[in-house]
Amino acid sequence: MAKGKLELYAIEGQSFDVPTYQGYGRLCDLASISAPDTFDEQKNPKGYQRDLDKSHATSAYKYAALGEGMLGDRRLWSEIVLNVRDTTVLNIEPVQKMNGTALVKLSFELEKIDNTLATPKVARVDGNHRLHFAQGVPEKNWGPVEAVSPFLMTIGLDVETEQALFKDINDNQKGMNTSHLDHIVYRSRQSAQIQEKEPELWIAERLAEDPESPFHGLVYRGGAKDQGTKRFINLRSLKNGVELILNHGHALRVLPGPASYTAPAQYSLIRNYWKAVEKTWKNEWNKDSLLLKGVGYRAMSVVGGYVIDRCLASATTDVKDMEAFVARTQKTQLDSGQMLNWEKEGPLGSFGGMKGVGDLADQLLKSVTGIDESSVGQLAKIP
């Protein structure tokens, strides 16, 4: 246990029904006086905090300590929420009062706080991931995070009230739309930087913006939804599909040259592939079809990597060249014996998750990879 005192200054007030103290403190200091009350069926069945996600906590540390993950050149996050359960660890002294607002000094007796206990003296109601590594990790050479963050503190709330507030805080927060975040990243960085660091996002945005793209006007990128426009795929899904094409198109992925050349070249090839898909499956190119949803879209993306590689190998990369391969998917017989169709109530209903993506892609590729004149020609060259 640490020795001595930790002094913080705060403004006394009230948030809705709860008296509160709001102020600022170093993250390492806020971490030193607090701990989570983590639910564990065996060791702590009355706890309520979720299990720690170490990758999330690591990202929070690196953002606070090193600025990793910053989109711009400034950092900011919302306040840490703590509840002092054991009021004997804290002394509150008035400092100044003006126009009904009181400034107070919060003095914590560090020797009375043992954060190894199952139930903490000062509980982390919101912000556990942000505080988990804030005192540093010596074995990783991570130093304490001395950056200052806002905090909101409650005093003496019982555990039932505290966990009810935890539920309210988390239940009433709406997660940010991931497509909206992707679009903000795209708008906030230079084109060359996106091409080099996130070519899949750059290509997805071009697919949405290019009038020659089959996705033009059909991609939801966050914000207000136009009621008169049918946007049947979102930017995050489109980006994920591009990533699958790049991952499964080995020659496509390693095109030679700087990113300012390779990303536009990859875009042209991927656009040609999807134009071939649109021509082949023109009646299914709509928001009600599974062709551009979930497993179907991802499986066709995997197929796209293969088709583009085949076309690159023969230096025939026009839409019509790719269409010759894509057309074969129309004759796909699934392992169930049923012929492929993209209807919601059709045979693809049994395919789920990434395993389903892999299974469907394998079955589509069986149709695409049939013996043709080109492959016979390759066989003829074998000594």
Q: Taking 90 as the threshold, does the pLDDT of residue 301 lie above it?
A: yes
Q: How confident is the model at residue 47 (pLDDT cuts 50, 70, 90)?
A: confident
HEC profile of 280-316:
HCHHHCCCCCHHHCHHHHHHHHHHHHHHHHHHHHCCC
Q: How confident is the model at residue 225 (pLDDT cuts 50, 70, 90)?
A: low
Mean pLDDT (the chain) is 89
CB 64 within 8 A of CB 57: no
Q: Domain residues of the chain, as ranges?
A: 5-171, 178-380
CB 13 within 8 A of CB 22: yes
Separation of alpha carbons 107 and 113, rounded Å: 12
Of the listed ranges 78-82, 84-88, 158-162, 316-320, the one predicted with least confidence:
158-162
Q: Taking 50 as the threshold, does the pLDDT of residue 103 lie above it?
A: yes
Residue 268 C-alpha from the chain's centroid? 27
Q: At what angle do helices 259-280 and 235-248 cross, to 10 degrees?
A: 100
**Residue keyed to tokens 């942000």:** 130
Residue 41: Cβ-neighbour burial (10 angstroms; 0-12, 13-18, 19+): exposed
Q: What's the pLDDT at 358?
A: 92
- pTM of the shown model: 0.66
Q: Taking 60 as the threshold, does the pLDDT of residue 228 lie above it?
A: no
Separation of alpha carbons 172 and 259, rounded Å: 42
Q: Taking 50 as the threshold, does the pLDDT of residue 90 lie above it?
A: yes
Ramachandran area for residue 189 (φ above 0: left; ψ -120 to 50: alpha; else beta)? beta
Q: Exposure string (b/e) for 314-352, b if CB count within 10 Å is 16 or more?
A: eeebebebbbbbbbbbeebebeeeeebbbeeeebbeebe
Of the listed ranges 19-23, 222-226, 287-291, the one predicted with least confidence:
222-226
Q: What's the pLDDT at 344?
A: 86
Q: What is the mean pLDDT of residues 17-33?
A: 96
Q: How confident is the model at residue 9 (pLDDT cuts 50, 70, 90)?
A: very high
Q: Taking 70 as the threshold, does the pLDDT of residue 99 lie above it?
A: yes
Percent of the chain with pLDDT strictly greater than 70 = 92
Neighbours of 291 (CB within 10 A): 22
**pLDDT tens, 169-210?**
876 665 657 787 788 788 777 889 899 999 999 999 999 999
Separation of alpha carbons 234 and 228, rounded Å: 16
Q: Taking 70 as the threshold, does the pLDDT of residue 230 lie above it?
A: no
Separation of alpha carbons 147 and 136, rounded Å: 12
Q: What's the pLDDT at 224?
A: 61
